């Protein structure tokens, strides 16, 4: 039962981070090609660097997720998932970001919960220590 839950959490985490990374890469690509400025005040980038920042975040997320999926290097994926949780929670709730209404607040809360669950799933990627093993 626990292994099945771990598998579901891991699959959810892979899917969440792949979709998030592709979204960030797509948003950055569209914004760069149309020269449209982005207003993403919840991210820790200046207005001039926001497009470059989300493209870099998308690339790092995509790369770390693919490395974990292919089991080449699993340790980067939980770190990436933790960074996403930090950026989401800090950006929405601990900055000067304001919500347009109650629906926007609910959306941010749901997205934060989804990121936290994806982080828990990312922890399931790490190998388990066997009893008696010492690092």
- Is the distance from CB of 6 to CB of 120 less than 8 angstroms? no
DSSP conformational letter for 42: T
- Is the distance from CB of 68 to CB of 14 less than 8 angstroms? yes
Q: What whole-number distance in Å separates Cα of residue 13 and Cα of residue 114?
A: 9
Provide the whole-model pTM. Answer: 0.88
Residue 96 pLDDT: 84
Q: What whole-number distance in Å separates Cα of residue 76 and Cα of residue 95?
A: 27
Identify the H or E element spanning 100. Answer: none
Residue 133 pLDDT: 55
Residue that has been written with the tokens 């569209």 in this structure: 30
Tokens of residue 33, six digits: 């090609």
Q: Where are the domains of the chain?
A: 2-123
2-34 helix and 76-93 helix, angle to the nearest 10 degrees:
60
Q: What whole-number distance in Å separates Cα of residue 105 and Cα of residue 62?
A: 27
Which comes out higher in pLDDT, residue 87 or 135?
87
Residues 38-79 have pLDDT tens digits of 888 888 888 889 999 999 999 999 999 999 999 899 999 999
Tokens of residue 35, six digits: 């020269």
Residues 74-110 have pLDDT tens digits of 999 999 999 999 999 999 999 888 899 999 999 999 9
């Amino acid at each position: 039962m626990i292994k099945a839950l771990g598998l579901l959490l891991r699959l959810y985490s892979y899917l969440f981070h792949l979709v998030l990374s592709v979204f960030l890469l797509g948003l950055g690509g569209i914004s760069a090609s149309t020269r449209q400025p982005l207003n993403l005040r919840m991210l820790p980038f200046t207005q001039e660097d926001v497009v470059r920042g989300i493209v870099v975040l998308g690339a790092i997320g995509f790369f770390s997720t693919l490395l974990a999926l292919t089991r080449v290097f699993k340790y980067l994926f939980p770190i990436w998932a933790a960074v996403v949780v930090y950026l989401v929670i800090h950006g929405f709730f601990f900055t000067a970001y304001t919500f347009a209404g109650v629906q926007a607040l609910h959306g941010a809360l749901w997205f934060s919960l989804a990121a936290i669950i994806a982080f828990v799933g990312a922890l399931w990627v790490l190998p388990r220590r066997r009893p008696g093993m010492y690092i």
